[in-house]
Each structure stands twice: as structure tokens, then as C-alpha cells.
Amino acid sequence: MDALSEAFRLIITLDADLFEILWLSIRVSLSALAISAVIGLPLGTWLAIAKFPGRKFFILLLNALMGMPPVVVGLIVYLLLSRSGPLGWLGLLYTPSAMIIAQVVLITPIIAALSNQVIEHLHQEYSDTFYSMGITGSRALMAYLVDARYALTTCILAGFGRAIAEVGAVIIVGGNIDHLTRVMTTAIALETSKGNLTLALGLGVVLLTLSLLVNALVIGVREYAAKRQYA
Amino acid sequence: MKHLIISVALAFSAHTLADTIIVQSTTSTQNSGLYDYLLPLLEKDTGIMGTGIKVNVVAVGTGQAIKNARRCDGDVLLVHAKSAEEKFVADGYGDYRRDLMYNDFVIIGPKADPANLAGARDVIDALQRIKQAGAKFASRGDDSGTHKKERSLWQAAAIDPGAGSGQWYLETGSGMGATLNTGVSLGAYVLTDRATWIAFANKQDADILFEGNPALFNQYGVIPVSAEKCPNVNREAAETFAQWLLSDAGQAAIRAYQVDGKQLFFPNAD
């Protein structure tokens, strides 16, 4: 109850720090989501319709990567971006870009694996029709993506949920630097470690509310578009 | 894809201006709010001097901070484990090490004090009492400065707490705050720096039960990372940062910082 009123207080007082942190969380996770969707959706679709040896193994691998612990992803990206690592010259460690990269690594497998299942299902239904119409290759890939767009929003939301909620990866590559790389989850971890449990829980409520809004928005748009299409 | 990553990278790397430094730091200086108080003063002072710098703090345990700095992922090191710091400099990763400030460690625990630390002669006796009473002790277990200190104290008390790991000796492998949360909830004793404890907001039924022993002295040091080992460091801004902290203005600011009317850090630049 205290946490709810704390969350309410943070929001109605328009706490400037809170909004800065909230905005960075959204910016980082949405950027990661956009990049992951551009990679993951075509990859998942292609794996559903392509035929090549080792395809099943590749899909298995993607599914396994969905269970990758964020802290491991964070560690790998840290070692790559560290000034003494192979990509150190980019100077990206402890920046929001590093956090985006880590989240892309984390959620691309999720989006690819989930969309793969959606499209595989569709493919069983459509493959003969597409074949007889001569729709193959990249045209078939596009056709599937467009046709399954509503089902695919769920895959994207799953990716977003993972990105906005994780703390293990962003705290390692971002460093939880105040006014630079502090996001909602790392702020919650920090406040917990300071013993400010009510404030930490309040931030958690705010984050949950944000997640609720994003989901409602996406599902709302989906319902609206679906209704118009079949009206 | 590569272009996308690079363009996204460029869009954000505007943050990393030439006058920005990263401080690899222990957690107590952040969790106690010291940086929130010091950094605006430092940025203002150095700004007037025309060498304005922006300071980004990465607060991890001392052990991890030193490892990160060895990978060149920091321009300055601000930690509290003197022998590890001296080794860092001796290995060529730091140009020099200066004493910055001190405070002390304390042992906190449940007010009921089942091991009767109140009657302990010194810190060795205090630890022996915890062991003999079969009381719980929560350890950082993360190679931080506080953990290094704690291990040296057990050694001095001729006790091997590792033998009771998971039974009475609980290694959290976490930061000071997380370990305090665990310790307080389990009614365990915890060795903590005083600053983190005073600023800690979830004290519940716990209090300081042992303090004021010379062996509990806690010295903080500052080290600019060597530009020879790490060509990417912003050595000039790191020097500005270190010299401000060691200057009269910096030392006075450290002295002035209080939480709940208590001074947390005592400047002692040499």
C-alpha cells in the first residue's frame, strides 16, 4: 500500500529525475525492440519456410537462447565493448548505446523463435497455395509477415517485456550512471541496496504501469486495425 | 545492420565528450549520497577554473572496480583497499595513489545481541564471540574492500568461517546494501562501513553493536589510471578530479557532508 502511494506521489509531483529515468528506459528498450524486430521477424519467418540441412538445429538453438540469462549477455557485451576489448575503440561502454546492444542480443532470439512458431503454423496452411501462385523467396517471406502481423505483435510485446524488465545486462554495460545510464530497473536495484524499499517498490509500480500502457496501446491498435479490416 | 548500430551509436555517443571521466568507485561513497553532494561542487569549482569536467560514477565493489580499471574502463579509481591499490599502482595501472579520506567499519546486528558483542574487548574477541554463540554472520563474499577487511579480521581471530559457509556464515556475493538487507532480515551480524550504515534506510531491529577499534580503520584512496597502460583514458580530466578532491576545497566539502547530523567521511589527504 505504501508502495502504491509512493508511486502515485512520484507521478503526481512530476518528479524530474523519475521522468528522466523513465524516458531513458523507454528510449533504450524501444530502440532495442525496433532493431530486434527488424532482425528477428524476417529471421524467424525465413527459418519457418526455408529448407536447408540443420534448420531444425538452428531453431532449437534460437529457442534455447530465449533462456539466456541477462547477466551473461551483459558480461559478453561488456567484454566486447570494454576499452581493452575488440570493440573498445567505439567508446560505447557505459553509454545508452551499449545498453541497446545488450538488449538486442537478449531479445532478438525471443522475437525470432516466437515468430518462427507463428509462421510455421501459417506455412502448413498456405504453402500449397503460395506455391501454386508462384509466390516464393523474399516475396513469400513478406507475404507471411504481412499476413501474420497481428499474431506477430504478441511476439514483439514479449520482446519488449523482456527488455524493459531486465536489470542484469544493462547494469553491467551501462554502469547505472546517474543522469546517463540509469534506467528504471537499475534505479530499483540501487534503491533496494540503499534500504529504501518503499521507494524501490514505488518505482516498480511505475514500471509496471508503463508496461501496462504499452501493452494496452499495442493491443488497442491491433484490435482497431483488425476491426476496420473486416468491417 | 552494421550501419544501423553505428548510427545509433553515434547518436548517443554525443554524451561521451572529451571532458567526461568515468570513476570506478566503491559503493559506499555512492550509497551514502557523498557523490550527489560532492560532484555539483566539483563541477562548479572546476568549471570556474575553465577546466570543467563531467564525472560519471560506476559504483561497484572495490575488487570489481579495480578489475574494471585494469581493463581500462575507467579514468579514476576511488576505492578502499590500500594493499590492492598499491599493487594496482606498482603494476603500472595507476600513476600514483593518494590517501583521500577515512571512516571506520562497524559490526551491526540484532539489538538483542545474542553473541554479546557489547562485552567484547576488541574486534577479534567480537568475532570469536559470534562464532562461539553460533550466531549468524552475513558476509559480502564479493572480494570488495569491506570483504577483504573482513577476511583479514577472521584470519587474525584464527577462525576459518568458510567451514561454516551456508550454515552460520552466509556469503551473499552482493553489494553492501544487499548484504545489509539480508543480514537485517536474518538477524545476522554484518561488518559494514559506517557511512553506508548511517545512510541505510532499512535498519529494522538492527543497530551498531561493535565499533571504535583501531583495526576497523577504513582508508579511502584516489588513483588516476595510467595513460601509458590505457591510452584511451582522459588523464587530464582525471588529474583535475583527483586534485580537486585533494585540495582544501575538496577536503572541506568531504568534511561538510552529513547524514542525520553525522559526518560520514573524514578527509586526510597526505
ipTM of the complex: 0.82
Residue B179: closest C-alpha in chain A: A193
Angle in degrees, 0-180, between the axes of helices A55-65 and A16-49, rounded to the nearest 10: 160
Reading the block at residue B28, the C-alpha cell is 559506499
Please give the average per-residue pLDDT across B41-53, as a whole number.
78
Please give the average per-residue pLDDT across B102-114, as a whole number.
97
Do A144 and A48 form a contact (C-beta atoms < 8 A)? yes
Please give the average per-residue pLDDT across B73-80, as a whole number.
96
Q: Are strands B20-25 and B169-171 parallel, antiparallel or unpaired?
A: unpaired
Scored b (16 or more CB within 10 A) or e, A24-55 reads: bbeebbbbbbebbbebbbbbbbbbbbeeeeee
pTM above 0.80, yes or no: yes
Residue B2 has pLDDT above 60, yes or no: no
Residue B139 has pLDDT above 50, yes or no: yes
Distance CA A176, CA A191 (A): 12
Distance CA A77, CA A107 (A): 14
Could you give all domains of chain B from N- to C-terminal order, each with its CATH number?
2-102+219-267 (3.40.190.10), 105-216 (3.40.190.10)
* pLDDT digit string, tens, across residues A6-20: 888 887 887 888 899
**Smallest Cα distance from A38 to chain B, Å:** 9
* E-state strands within chain B: 20-25, 54-59, 76-79, 98-110, 137-139, 169-171, 189-193, 206-210, 217-224, 258-259, 262-263, 266-267
Structural domain boundaries in chain A: 2-230
Whether residue B227 lies within 8 A of chain A, CB to CB, comes out as no
Residue A2: CB atoms within 10 A of its CB come to 11
**Smallest Cα distance from A113 to chain B, Å:** 19
Q: What is the architecture of the domain spanning A2-230? A: Orthogonal Bundle (1.10)
**Smallest Cα distance from A23 to chain B, Å:** 14
Of A114-118, A159-163, B2-6, B164-168, the poorest mean pLDDT is in B2-6
HSE toward the beta carbon, residue A121, CA cutoff 13 A: 10
Phi and psi torsions of B257, nearest 5°: -75, 125
B window 48-77, beta carbon within 8 A of A = 56-59, 71-73
Residue B247 has pLDDT above 80, yes or no: yes
Residue A223 has pLDDT above 50, yes or no: yes
* pLDDT digit string, tens, across residues B193-233: 999 999 999 999 999 999 999 999 999 999 999 999 999 99
Angle in degrees, 0-180, between the axes of helices B145-156 and B62-70, rounded to the nearest 10: 120
Residue B15 has pLDDT above 90, yes or no: no
Please report the pLDDT score of residue B16 as a whole number.
42
Residue A175: closest C-alpha in chain B: B58
